Amino acid sequence: MTWLVTGGAGYIGAHVVRALQDAGLTAIVLDDLSSGHASFVAPETPFIRASILDGERVLDALGQHGVTGVIHVAGFKYAGVSVQRPLHTYEQNVTGTAVLLAAMQDRGVDRIVFSSSAAVYGTPDVDLVTEDTPKNPQSPYGESKLIGEWLLRDQGVAAGLRHTSLRYFNVVGSGHPSLPDTSPHNLFPLVFDALVAGRTPKINGDDYPTPDGTNVRDYIHVSDLAAAHVAAARRLDAGEPLESAYNLGSGDGVSVGEIMATVAEVTGIPFVPEIAPRRAGDPARIVAAGDLAARDLDWTMRHGLREMVSSAWDARRAAEG
């Protein structure tokens, strides 16, 4: 079976490609390199540099490589920035997904794993987020991901598309030293950037009703995330049933304070985080149940917090040479 990975030159997509190949599946990459890196694609992996908005290029990629399924990771992923760039966000994430689905229908490709997001929930007021928790996205990014799920649902009804959506929470770490997280908005790169520049990392608020007063979030290792995509792809290939969506979460989470302490330990750079004011609307705790994914996708937290931090730091240092 051959799987096209859109956004396969990005941080998450490249890990998915490696996981597919390690599992003996054929992977093809389509990426416009707007945020990805050509160096993340192995020389032996077929690579089409194109946008998912270019329907003709997507059609050609599906046909020329005999693609049987798609793992759709491409998209504009910056929730905060999406508030200032809503039209761009909707074009990339909604129009792009519609163009992709149309090309898949034309080529008879009937299975897809969709990269969704915890952002579909907004800021839930429950201790543990399940797949049935009400959806209340609070950014164009979160809205676009929810619409993406609806597009898959409706295409399933209309054309028999077999699909599932994986809702990511906070993805960190690295499965390969050559694949660092280069996002300018994610916590680990921001903390590492500060330390390397001699600045003190900040924590936004230390007076939340949590064990150490700092926000608790669900952090998952990118390699565990990639393995879940492979499991979903295998089930689709085998014609086995899947839920329409799965949370990929730990069930308990860790605090920002714990992360800072672990970063200091792993990097050997001692620091006491600067305490900044709370960010408006920032909830104390967002943690997801991963029970459904554990049942169907062999989902489990194979990497602890120290491994998350140390693998991310090793990849960061390797990238700097």
Enumerate the active-site residues. 141
State the CB neighbour count (10 A cutoff) for residue 162.
18
Question: Which residues are CB-contacts of 99 (< 8 A; sequence separation ≥ 6)?
Answer: 52, 53, 54, 55, 58
Sign (positive/negative) of CA torsion 182, 81, 31, 116? positive
Helices (H), 48-163: 55-64, 79-82, 86-90, 96-107, 140-159
Helix (H) or strand (E) holding 172: strand 170-172
C-alpha 141/C-alpha 82 separation (Å) is: 6
C-alpha 18/C-alpha 22 separation (Å) is: 6
CB 104 within 8 A of CB 62: yes
Tokens for 262, please give them.
Answer: 């672990």
Phi, psi of 172 (to 5 degrees): -140, 175
Q: Tell me what percent of the chain is helix, strand and coil, each rounded to the nearest 5.
A: 40, 15, 40
Q: Which amino acid is at 57?
A: R
C-alpha 37/C-alpha 14 separation (Å) is: 9
